[in-house]
Amino acid sequence: MVNEKATEPCVQNQLYRDVERVLISAEEIQDRVRGLGRQIDERYADKDLLLIAVLKGSVVFIADLMRAITIPHEVDFLATSSYGAYTASTGIVRILKDLNEPIAGRHALLVEDIIDSGHTLAYLTQLFRARNPASLEVVTLLDKPTRREVDIDLFWTGFSVPDEFVIGYGLDFNQKYRNLPYIGVLKSEVYQPGSE
Ligand code: IMP
Ligand code: MG
Protein backbone atom coordinates (compact mmCIF):
# COMPACT_ATOMS: atom_id res chain seq x y z
CA MET A 1 0.00 0.00 0.00
CA VAL A 2 1.26 3.45 -0.88
CA ASN A 3 1.98 5.58 2.14
CA GLU A 4 0.61 9.02 1.23
CA LYS A 5 2.77 10.62 3.86
CA ALA A 6 5.85 9.43 1.99
CA THR A 7 5.24 12.16 -0.59
CA GLU A 8 5.40 14.91 2.04
CA PRO A 9 8.66 16.81 2.27
CA CYS A 10 8.90 16.08 6.02
CA VAL A 11 9.81 12.44 5.38
CA GLN A 12 11.65 12.90 2.10
CA ASN A 13 13.98 15.71 2.85
CA GLN A 14 16.95 15.97 5.21
CA LEU A 15 15.97 19.56 6.06
CA TYR A 16 12.70 18.37 7.59
CA ARG A 17 14.20 15.25 9.18
CA ASP A 18 16.53 17.44 11.26
CA VAL A 19 13.54 19.08 12.97
CA GLU A 20 12.88 17.69 16.46
CA ARG A 21 9.39 19.23 16.54
CA VAL A 22 7.37 22.11 15.14
CA LEU A 23 7.11 24.89 17.72
CA ILE A 24 5.06 27.48 15.78
CA SER A 25 3.15 26.51 12.63
CA ALA A 26 3.13 28.54 9.42
CA GLU A 27 -0.54 29.44 10.08
CA GLU A 28 0.18 30.66 13.61
CA ILE A 29 3.02 32.81 12.28
CA GLN A 30 0.81 34.36 9.58
CA ASP A 31 -1.93 35.18 12.11
CA ARG A 32 0.52 36.83 14.48
CA VAL A 33 2.25 38.79 11.70
CA ARG A 34 -1.13 40.15 10.57
CA GLY A 35 -1.82 41.22 14.16
CA LEU A 36 1.53 42.98 14.41
CA GLY A 37 0.83 44.71 11.08
CA ARG A 38 -2.42 46.15 12.46
CA GLN A 39 -0.66 47.40 15.63
CA ILE A 40 2.09 49.02 13.55
CA ASP A 41 -0.54 50.65 11.29
CA GLU A 42 -2.11 52.28 14.35
CA ARG A 43 1.12 53.22 16.09
CA TYR A 44 2.71 54.84 13.03
CA ALA A 45 -0.32 56.32 11.24
CA ASP A 46 0.75 59.63 9.61
CA LYS A 47 4.40 59.07 10.61
CA ASP A 48 7.46 58.68 8.39
CA LEU A 49 8.03 54.98 9.11
CA LEU A 50 11.24 53.21 8.17
CA LEU A 51 11.51 49.45 8.74
CA ILE A 52 15.06 48.29 9.30
CA ALA A 53 15.69 44.57 8.92
CA VAL A 54 18.74 42.90 10.30
CA LEU A 55 20.05 40.46 7.69
CA LYS A 56 19.80 37.64 7.11
CA GLY A 57 17.54 36.12 9.73
CA SER A 58 14.82 38.78 9.44
CA VAL A 59 14.24 38.66 5.67
CA VAL A 60 11.32 36.22 5.75
CA PHE A 61 9.68 38.06 8.64
CA ILE A 62 10.05 41.53 7.08
CA ALA A 63 8.77 40.26 3.72
CA ASP A 64 5.50 39.18 5.38
CA LEU A 65 5.37 42.03 7.90
CA MET A 66 5.73 44.82 5.33
CA ARG A 67 2.76 43.38 3.43
CA ALA A 68 0.73 43.17 6.66
CA ILE A 69 1.38 46.92 7.17
CA THR A 70 -0.99 49.04 5.11
CA ILE A 71 0.44 52.52 5.80
CA PRO A 72 3.15 53.92 3.47
CA HIS A 73 6.66 53.10 4.68
CA GLU A 74 10.19 52.40 3.48
CA VAL A 75 12.57 49.53 4.22
CA ASP A 76 16.32 49.44 4.70
CA PHE A 77 18.72 46.63 5.54
CA LEU A 78 21.64 46.17 7.86
CA ALA A 79 23.99 43.21 8.07
CA THR A 80 25.80 42.22 11.24
CA SER A 81 27.89 39.32 12.32
CA SER A 82 28.73 38.22 15.82
CA TYR A 83 31.95 36.34 16.32
CA GLY A 84 32.04 33.03 18.15
CA ALA A 85 30.11 29.79 18.37
CA TYR A 86 27.21 29.02 16.06
CA THR A 87 24.51 28.74 18.67
CA ALA A 88 25.60 31.35 21.22
CA SER A 89 25.97 35.06 20.77
CA THR A 90 29.21 36.56 22.05
CA GLY A 91 28.07 40.15 22.42
CA ILE A 92 30.68 41.31 19.92
CA VAL A 93 28.84 42.75 16.93
CA ARG A 94 30.41 43.72 13.63
CA ILE A 95 28.57 45.83 11.02
CA LEU A 96 29.04 44.13 7.64
CA LYS A 97 26.62 46.42 5.78
CA ASP A 98 25.30 49.70 7.14
CA LEU A 99 21.98 51.34 6.25
CA ASN A 100 21.69 53.06 2.86
CA GLU A 101 19.77 56.04 4.24
CA PRO A 102 20.15 58.41 7.21
CA ILE A 103 17.52 57.90 9.93
CA ALA A 104 17.66 61.34 11.58
CA GLY A 105 14.13 62.66 12.21
CA ARG A 106 12.49 59.45 11.01
CA HIS A 107 10.49 56.83 12.91
CA ALA A 108 12.73 53.79 12.82
CA LEU A 109 11.41 50.32 13.59
CA LEU A 110 14.06 47.62 13.83
CA VAL A 111 12.84 44.23 12.63
CA GLU A 112 14.63 41.30 14.30
CA ASP A 113 14.25 37.55 14.03
CA ILE A 114 15.03 36.65 17.64
CA ILE A 115 16.26 38.31 20.82
CA ASP A 116 18.43 35.89 22.73
CA SER A 117 21.09 37.37 25.06
CA GLY A 118 20.08 40.84 23.83
CA HIS A 119 23.66 41.87 23.03
CA THR A 120 23.07 42.36 19.29
CA LEU A 121 20.06 44.57 19.86
CA ALA A 122 21.65 46.53 22.72
CA TYR A 123 24.50 47.38 20.39
CA LEU A 124 22.25 48.28 17.45
CA THR A 125 19.85 50.45 19.45
CA GLN A 126 22.79 52.37 20.93
CA LEU A 127 24.25 52.84 17.44
CA PHE A 128 20.95 54.07 15.96
CA ARG A 129 19.99 56.33 18.88
CA ALA A 130 23.18 58.28 18.22
CA ARG A 131 21.82 59.04 14.73
CA ASN A 132 18.86 60.95 16.23
CA PRO A 133 15.77 59.22 14.82
CA ALA A 134 12.38 60.74 15.79
CA SER A 135 11.70 57.39 17.50
CA LEU A 136 13.34 53.98 17.68
CA GLU A 137 11.48 50.80 18.54
CA VAL A 138 11.98 47.10 17.89
CA VAL A 139 9.71 44.36 16.65
CA THR A 140 11.03 40.83 17.02
CA LEU A 141 9.37 37.68 15.76
CA LEU A 142 10.77 35.60 18.63
CA ASP A 143 11.99 36.26 22.13
CA LYS A 144 13.94 33.90 24.40
CA PRO A 145 13.45 35.81 27.68
CA THR A 146 15.21 33.25 29.87
CA ARG A 147 18.48 33.87 28.01
CA ARG A 148 18.58 37.65 28.44
CA GLU A 149 21.90 39.11 29.62
CA VAL A 150 21.19 42.79 28.89
CA ASP A 151 17.91 44.68 29.24
CA ILE A 152 16.09 45.64 26.05
CA ASP A 153 13.13 48.01 26.15
CA LEU A 154 10.56 49.29 23.67
CA PHE A 155 10.04 46.07 21.82
CA TRP A 156 7.09 44.09 20.48
CA THR A 157 7.23 40.33 20.29
CA GLY A 158 5.56 37.83 18.01
CA PHE A 159 6.14 34.80 20.24
CA SER A 160 8.14 33.87 23.33
CA VAL A 161 10.07 30.64 22.87
CA PRO A 162 11.81 28.31 25.34
CA ASP A 163 15.58 28.06 25.61
CA GLU A 164 16.04 25.73 22.66
CA PHE A 165 17.77 26.27 19.33
CA VAL A 166 15.10 27.15 16.78
CA ILE A 167 15.24 27.23 13.00
CA GLY A 168 13.03 28.11 10.06
CA TYR A 169 11.10 31.15 8.78
CA GLY A 170 14.45 32.91 8.23
CA LEU A 171 16.34 31.52 11.21
CA ASP A 172 19.33 29.37 10.40
CA PHE A 173 21.78 26.91 11.76
CA ASN A 174 25.03 27.16 9.84
CA GLN A 175 23.17 29.16 7.12
CA LYS A 176 20.70 26.34 6.43
CA TYR A 177 17.03 25.72 7.34
CA ARG A 178 15.94 29.34 6.64
CA ASN A 179 13.39 28.12 4.09
CA LEU A 180 11.38 25.97 6.51
CA PRO A 181 7.87 27.50 6.55
CA TYR A 182 7.49 27.09 10.34
CA ILE A 183 9.59 27.60 13.47
CA GLY A 184 11.01 24.27 14.59
CA VAL A 185 13.40 22.97 17.20
CA LEU A 186 16.61 21.63 15.70
CA LYS A 187 17.61 18.11 16.75
CA SER A 188 20.50 18.47 19.17
CA GLU A 189 22.56 15.81 17.36
CA VAL A 190 22.77 18.18 14.38
CA TYR A 191 24.73 20.79 16.33
CA GLN A 192 26.23 18.44 18.94
CA PRO A 193 27.29 15.36 16.97
CA GLY A 194 27.44 12.31 19.22
CA SER A 195 24.80 13.59 21.65
CA GLU A 196 22.06 11.15 20.53
P1 IMP B 1 21.66 37.88 20.83
O2 IMP B 1 22.69 38.93 20.54
O3 IMP B 1 22.18 36.84 21.81
O4 IMP B 1 20.33 38.44 21.26
O5 IMP B 1 21.51 37.02 19.52
C6 IMP B 1 20.70 37.35 18.51
C7 IMP B 1 21.04 36.59 17.26
O8 IMP B 1 21.54 35.26 17.52
C9 IMP B 1 19.79 36.39 16.47
O10 IMP B 1 19.51 37.52 15.64
C11 IMP B 1 20.09 35.13 15.70
O12 IMP B 1 20.79 35.44 14.52
C13 IMP B 1 20.97 34.33 16.62
N14 IMP B 1 20.19 33.35 17.39
C15 IMP B 1 19.95 33.34 18.71
N16 IMP B 1 19.22 32.29 19.08
C17 IMP B 1 18.95 31.60 17.94
C18 IMP B 1 18.20 30.39 17.66
O19 IMP B 1 17.60 29.72 18.51
N20 IMP B 1 18.18 30.01 16.36
C21 IMP B 1 18.80 30.70 15.35
N22 IMP B 1 19.50 31.84 15.58
C23 IMP B 1 19.58 32.27 16.87
MG1 MG C 1 19.65 38.04 13.76
Q: What digits encode the pLDDT tens for the residues 103-125?
A: 999 999 999 999 998 988 999 99
Q: Which residues of the chain have pLDDT under 50?
A: 1-4, 6, 85-87
- Looking from the CA of residue 116, the nearest atom of ligand 1 is 4
For atom 9 of ligand 1, the residue with the nearest CA is: 114
Ligand 1 pocket: which of 81, 116, 123 to mutate (most atoms <8 Å of CB)? 116
To the query of whether residue 48 is one of the catalytic residues in this protein, the response is no
- The pLDDT value given to residue 131: 98
Residues 116/145, Cβ–Cβ less than 8 Å: no
The pLDDT of residue 88 is 52
